[in-house]
Amino acid sequence: MGSGPTFAQDADRSVSAMPEGLWGQPEVNVPDGGGTEQVRRVTVPATMVYDYTPGAAPTRFLRGLQEGRILGERAEGGTDVYVPSRGMDPVLGRATTESVEVGPKATITTFCVVHIGFGENAPPPPFVSALILPDGAAVSLYGTVLGIDHTEVRIGMRVRPVWKDPAERTTSFENITHWEPIDEPDVSAEELKGHM
Amino acid sequence: MNAERVAVVGIGQTKYASVRGDVSLPGLLREAAYRALEDARLTMDDIDAIVVGKAPDFFEGIMMPETYLAEALGAVGKPLFRVHTAGSVGGSTAIVAASHVESGVHERVLTIGWQQQSVSEAMWALSFPIPFQQQLVAGAGGYFAPFIREYIRRSGAPDDIGILVALKDRLNALKNPYAHLHEPEITYDSIKESFMLWEPIRYSETCPSSDGAIAMVLAGEQAAEASAAASGVRPAWVHGTAMRSEPATASGRDQVSPRAGIDCAADVYSQAGIVDPVAEIDMVEMYVPFSWYEPMWLENLGFAPEGEGWKMTEQGRTALDGDLPVNCSGGVLSTNPIGASGMIRFGEAAMQVRGQAGDHQIDGVETALGHAYGGAAQFFAMWVVGSEKP
């Protein structure tokens, strides 16, 4: 392992921050040790840190994020814009060669309301975890929707990304902290089929 | 394609539980394997090859466990093959084992699927960050719940269909001594009042996290007849097997009813000569980790028209006394050792054909479907087993 970028270490994050008794690690049922008290559980953290080399297409996407832009890509002769592009159109099986800026406005294609805590990487519950289709893109991104009561979120609702300050931006999707609603008419859910 | 006939002649399951601390991992596998061999009236010496499957290694923190488990699996000096297809792996593993016999290379193959989920947190094994995507900060339920919401929107299903599925499966589990969850006190209201996790999914509408293993012995025609003569239990003949997959992200992809599942079902029905699945299939064990996937898969598998799967559930047609019983064993909602869950579906379908399912046996099952899915609802494996030779 080289000295790559540093990541938040996950080993110490709170695990199973859930209501009491839900998915907690249960007591181990072990046979009687015959006088020797059994060792019931040894906790061994497993952590892996990857040094990831994004390659050409993800580099273009990540550099775009650094500039506060969402860049998708299209294959020659294709119509679908993939974001983030992995360098090819998986339906056509052809390389994506054309860079296309999508969004920043977007539509919620579907979502759920998360009522359980998922540690410091997630907003406090309840929060909305949504699939979000940037204008001009063919596929949705995962994101959280804040700035609105969760009971008012709808399929087809219009949103925009909320970015970190330019000085804080890195080559990371975390530059978009969350999405927030905008005052535009909903998109028909039927139009969103196939783009979730 | 001229394939040798293949049949299930032995099935063995462990008791499933949150923690099987009373056995080691090798011991857990032996518990299932010996029961399957005993059922087939065979010993390890009779086995020609072993095919195993489990979920990704990070779930248990042991890299390539199949190598250190070779002795436990009876694989010393024999071919040992591992299959990797995420949550569908149990189904795919059984299919690979069947193909070892169909090819004519092996006469008797032992196949085992397992998971010891108590060792780590599968929730987090599924949630590590991907560098070019926004992190999904909500676990497996957070991945699938949005598609359930979309299913409810499209179909106009009443919002309690998921409760009905969970109640049925948990009550079925009371008739299955191997099932992990035995909740005799469960009611419609207790499910409805259970904690909302990933709206619209409640706690009692999700699968548990289980330790356990299942093993099957698959045999060619002569070996199957010999086992059946010795045990007095008829073989479950494999009438068709199919696997399909599709990319997690693609324009036009429909995760409510994935194309790979539709194509996989069409293929396996065609092999089995099934034209009208709801009339010709007597029972189904399908992979339902969240309650709403029962109506969704009923449609994906062609048992109901699009948007109408929930009506079969609501009318009780998928109950033990319905015309298409689904998950008589209690299903994934009652038992979920991930790497084994798909094979449990395949094995329970075979048990029904063999008349071995005890208190959750359906009378007169001649044809049954086993179904598994995995990944981002993108890997599918299915088989049709029947009482008659294909």
How many angstroms separate the CA atoms of A25 and B314, rounded? 35
Owner of token pair 């497993």: A46
Give me the mean pLDDT over the B196-214 stretch: 94
Of the pLDDT bands very low, low, confident and very high (cuts 50, 70, 90), residue A1 is very low
Closest approach of B251 to chain A, Cα-based (Å): 5
B254 touches A: beta carbon within 8 Å:
yes
Yes or no: say if B257 and B296 are a contact pair by the CB < 8 Å rule: yes
User: Measured in whole angstroms, how far is the alpha carbon of residue B311 from the centre of its chain?
Assistant: 23
A72 Cα distance to chain centroid: 16
* Stretch 128-167 of chain B: residues touching chain A, C-beta under 8 Å: 128-129, 131-139, 141-142, 145-150, 153
| DSSP code of residue A120 | G
Asked if pLDDT for residue B128 goes beyond 70, the answer is no
Bridge partners of A74? A81, A98
B260 within a domain of the structure (yes/no): yes
Q: What is the pLDDT of residues B29-82, one digit of tens each?
A: 999 999 999 999 999 999 999 999 999 887 887 889 999 899 989 899 999 999
Question: Could you tell me if B200 and B214 lie in one domain?
Answer: no
Q: What is the CATH number of the domain that holds B16?
A: 3.40.47.10
Q: Which helix (H) or strand (E) holds A59?
A: helix A56-66
Confidence of residue B126 (pLDDT cuts 50, 70, 90): low
A194 forms bridges with which residues in the sheet? none
Residue B128 located in a structural domain:
no
**pLDDT exceeds 60 at position A15:** no
Q: Confidence band (pLDDT; 50, 70, 90) for B382? A: very high
Phi, psi for B131 (deg, rounded to 5): -65, -20
Q: List the Cα angle B190/B194/B200 in 5-degree steps.
A: 120
The minimum CA-CA distance between A171 and chain B, rounded to whole Å, is 9
Interface test with A, best of B120, B198, B251 (most A CBs within 10 A): B251
Please say if the pLDDT value at position A50 is more than 90. Answer: no
Residue A8's pLDDT band (cuts 50, 70, 90): very low
Whether residues B118 and A25 touch (CB distance < 8 A) is answered with yes
ipTM computed for the complex = 0.91
Say yes or no: B36 and B156 in one domain: no
Q: Is B249 on the interface with A (CB under 8 A)?
A: yes
Please give the distance of CA A91 from its chain centroid, rounded to a whole number: 22
Rounded to the nearest angstrom, the minimum Cα separation between A186 and chain B is 15
Report CB contact under 8 Å: B132, A130.
no
| Confidence grade of residue B142 (pLDDT, cut at 50, 70, 90) | confident
B213 with B98, same domain: the answer is yes
Residue B127 domain-assigned (yes or no) = no
Quote the pLDDT of residue B20. Answer: 87
Question: Domain range for residue B345?
Answer: 140-207+239-386
Please tell me whether residues B281 and B309 are part of one structural domain.
yes
Please give the backbone phi and psi of residue B256, each rounded to the nearest 5 degrees, phi first: -75, -40
Those residues with Cβ within 8 angstroms of residue A62's Cβ, 6 or more apart along the chain or in another chain: A54, A171, A172, B132
From the list A26, A115, A118, the residue facing B199 with the nearest CB is A115
B275 plus B232 within the same structural domain = no
- pLDDT level of residue A11 (50, 70, 90 thresholds): very low
Cβ A91–B201 below 8 Å, yes or no? no
CA distances from A68 to A81, A106, A181 (A): 18, 15, 18
Distance (Å, rounded) from C-alpha A73 to C-alpha A58? 10
B-chain residues near A40 (CB < 8 A): 21
Distance CA B181, CA B177 (A): 10
Q: Do B253 and A194 touch (CB under 8 A)?
A: yes
Q: Do A31 and B142 touch (CB under 8 A)?
A: no
Domain count, chain B: 2
Tokens of A43: 């906790």
- Residues B191 and B316 both lie in one domain: yes
Of the candidates B280, B203, B208, B201, the one whose C-alpha atom is nearest the C-alpha of residue B239 is: B280
Residue B251 to residue A173, Cβ atoms within 8 A: no
Interchain contact, A28 vs B118, CB within 8 Å: yes
Range with the largest mean pLDDT of A4-13, A51-60, A185-194: A185-194
Residues listed for chain A: 196
Q: Does residue B203 form part of some domain?
A: yes
> In what side-by-side order are the strands of the sheet with A88-89?
A81-82, A70-75, A94-102, A88-89
pLDDT at res. B56: 86
Length of chain B: 390
Q: What pLDDT is stored for residue B297 in this prediction?
A: 98
Hey, what are B30's tokens? 């032996």
Between CA B133 and CA B129 the distance in angstroms is 8
Is A46–B58 a contact, with Cβ atoms under 8 angstroms apart?
Answer: yes
Half-sphere exposure of B224 (CA within 13 A, CB side): 25
For residue B134, is it within any domain? no
Whether the CB-CB separation of B211 and B60 falls below 8 Å is answered with no
Q: Give the burial class of B302: count Cβ atoms within 10 A of its Cβ; 0-12 exposed, 13-18 middle, 19 or more buried.
A: middle
| B12 and B35 part of one domain | yes
For chain B, what percent of residues have pLDDT higher than 90?
A: 85
Instruction: With CB atoms and an 8 Å threshold, state whether A118 touches B137.
Output: yes
Contacts of A189 in chain B (CB under 8 A): 150, 153
Å between B325 CA and nearest CA of chain A? 29
Do B201 and A15 count as a contact with CB atoms less than 8 A apart?
no
B155 and B213 share one domain: no
Given a cut of 80, whether residue A121 has pLDDT beyond it is no
- State the average pLDDT for chain B: 94
pLDDT range class, residue B102, cuts 50, 70, 90: very high
Burial state string for A7-26 with b = 16 or more CB within 10 A and e = fewer than 16: eeebeeeebeebeeeebebe
Identify whether the C-beta of residue B71 lies closer than 8 Å to the C-beta of residue B130.
no
- Give the count of beta carbons closer than 10 Å to the beta carbon of residue B67: 11
Mean pLDDT over A98-109 rounds to 97
Three-state SS string across chain B, please?
Answer: CCCCCEEEEEEEECCCECCCCCCCHHHHHHHHHHHHHHHHCCCHHHCCEEEEECCCHHHCCCCCHHHHCCCCCCCCCCCEEEECCHHHHHHHHHHHHHHHHHCCCCCEEEEEEEEEHHHCCHHHHCCCCCCCCCCCCCHHHHHHHHHHHHHHHHHCCCCCHHHHHHHHHHHHHCCCCCCCCCCCCCCHHHHHCCCEEEECEEHHHECCCCEEEEEEEEEEHHHHHHHHHHHCCCCEEEEEEEEEECCCCCCCECCCCCHHHHHHHHHHHHHHCCCCHHHHCCEEECCCCECCHHHHHHHHCCCCCCCCHHHHHHCCCCCCCCCCCECCCCHHHHCCCHHHHHHHHHHHHHHHHHCCCHHHCCCCCCEEEEEEEECCCCEEEEEEEECCCC
Does B1 map to a domain? Answer: no
Q: What are the chain B neighbours of A126 within 8 Å (beta carbons)? A: 199
Q: How far is B253 from chain A (nearest CA, A)?
A: 5
Q: Is the pLDDT of residue A21 over 70?
A: no
Q: CA-based angle B360:B361:B363, to the nearest 5? A: 140
Q: Does B187 share its domain with B300?
A: yes
pLDDT digits (tens, 9 = 90+) for A149-192: 999 999 999 999 999 999 999 998 889 999 999 999 999 999 99
Domain layout of chain A by residue ranges: 56-192
What CA–CA distance (Å, rounded) separates B305 from B276?
A: 12
Distance (Å, rounded) from C-alpha B142 to C-alpha A116? 10
> What pTM, to 2 d.p., does this model score?
0.93
Backbone φ, ψ for residue B280 (5° rounding): -95, -15
